[in-house]
Amino acid sequence: MHQFTAMAQPVPRTSDASSVAETWAGRRVGITGAGGELGRALTRRLRERGAWVVALSHRPKPRELNSLTGPQEWICWSCGKEDELDSTLSRLDVLVLNHGINPGGDQSPESLNKALEVNALSQWRLLQRFEQLERDLRQPAQPPELWVNTSEAEIQPALSPAYELSKRLIGQLVSLRWSAPRQERTNLPKLRKLVLGPFRSELNPIGVMSADFVSGQILWQADLGLPLIIVTPNPLTLLAMPLIELGRLAYNKILWINHHDR
């Protein structure tokens, strides 16, 4: 498997910026959770690179939307109605699954169900729909991509049991898709996992990183071609996450081989 991660470094400001901009120029990027801090930061940076950004949000379109830094399109949707997005998804080059909720310490069945539905099951359904749509379409010159924000809570405490459970579930599902046989992943989008540490947002007002810094790191590591993108000040996550993914890959591959040998 490709090299999993890179240590956090400042986003390079060199003559390579023009080639980076060419990579994104004209590409259609859909972002769920586009109304949140990270969604807005990613939108700004992608617009700077020439991408066409489609916001996918449960929130209504803001009345005052910056035409230079905001998304060019705003699509309202809600969890459970992923099929209504098919016409939009089929026209995307990159889909970023970034929506989520954090119920904090609330451990009621209602909060657990909602967190699992929004943070994991809805993302899983969108992942499958995007893969199926891309499988049915003729492949473009530049392969489509699918990015899933699982958060550092996939392997670290986040002071929110429901949030942690839901992020671990979607994280494991992405790892399973990575482990699929090569022939099964033919004609499917390139899958990237975003493992992000605490950044300041409505979900986490005491985050130690800014959403702008995190978005810059995400795009920088994506431009390096990394499938596992890690942005965190926590050295344990930087060390553990690649090893965990390698362990999952080996485990899942063994089960695939045993299954097909029967």
**Under a CB-based contact definition with an 8 Å cutoff, are residues 229 and 194 in contact?**
yes
Strand partners, 166: none
Locate 216 and state its tokens. 């810059």
Give the domain extent around 111.
17-261
14 pLDDT higher than 60? no
Specify if 68 maps to a domain: yes
Taking only the tens place, the pLDDT of each residue in 21-45 is: 678 999 999 999 999 999 999 999 9
Q: Which of 52, 124, 147, 163 is catalytic?
A: 163
Q: What is the CATH number of the domain that holds 129?
A: 3.40.50.720
Nearest to 38 by CA among 120, 115, 147: 147
Specify if 207 maps to a domain: yes
Q: End-to-end alpha-carbon separation of the chain, Å?
A: 26
Taking only the tens place, the pLDDT of each residue in 180-237 is: 888 778 788 999 999 999 998 877 777 889 999 999 999 999 999 999 999 999 999 9
Locate 97 and state its tokens. 């699954």
Between CA 85 and CA 136 the distance in angstroms is 16
Taking only the tens place, the pLDDT of each residue in 127-181 is: 999 999 988 776 666 789 999 999 999 999 988 999 999 999 999 999 999 988 8
Specify if 7 maps to a domain: no
Specify if 10 maps to a domain: no
Specify if 8 maps to a domain: no
* Mean pLDDT computed over 107-131: 96
Q: What is the mean pLDDT of the chain?
A: 88
Specify if 179 maps to a domain: yes
Strand partners, 209: 199
Specify if 64 maps to a domain: yes
Specify if 9 maps to a domain: no
Domain total for the chain? 1
User: For this structure, is 163 an active site residue?
Assistant: yes
DSSP state of 35: T
Can you state the percent helix, strand and coil of the chain, rounding each to 5?
A: 45, 15, 40
